[in-house]
Structure 1
Amino acid sequence: MWWWRTEDKDGNEVTVAGELAGEKFPSQSDAESWVGEVFGELAEQGVDAVVLFEGERRVYGPMSLHP
Structure 2
Amino acid sequence: MSWTWRFETEDGGAVTPAGSLPSESFPTQSDAETWLGEIWQELLAAGVQQVVLHEGDRRVYGPMSLRSVD
* TM-score normalised per structure 2: 0.89
* Paired residues of 1:15 and 1:21 also in contact (CA < 8 A): no
Question: Cα deviation per residue 1:29-50 (whole Å; 9 max; x = unaligned)?
Answer: 0000000000000001110100
Q: Which has the larger radius of gyration?
A: 2
Kindly indicate whether residue 14 of structure 2 is the aligned counterpart of residue 13 of structure 1.
Answer: yes
Q: For the aligned residues, what is the CA RMSD? A: 0.8
* Paired residues of 1:51 and 1:61 also in contact (CA < 8 A): yes
Q: Which runs of 5 or more structure 2 residues have no equivalent in the other structure?
A: none
The offset of 1:4, in angstroms, is 0.1
Q: Match of 1:43?
A: 44
Q: Match of 2:63?
A: 62
Q: How many correspondences in the alignment?
A: 66
Q: Which runs of 5 or more structure 1 residues have no equivalent in the other structure?
A: none
Take 1:8 and 1:15, find their aligned partners in 2: how far apart are those partners?
10
- Please identify runs of 4+ aligned residues in structure 1 that moved more than 2 A: none
* TM-score normalised per structure 1: 0.93
Amino acid at match of 1:30: D
Matched-pair identity in %: 58
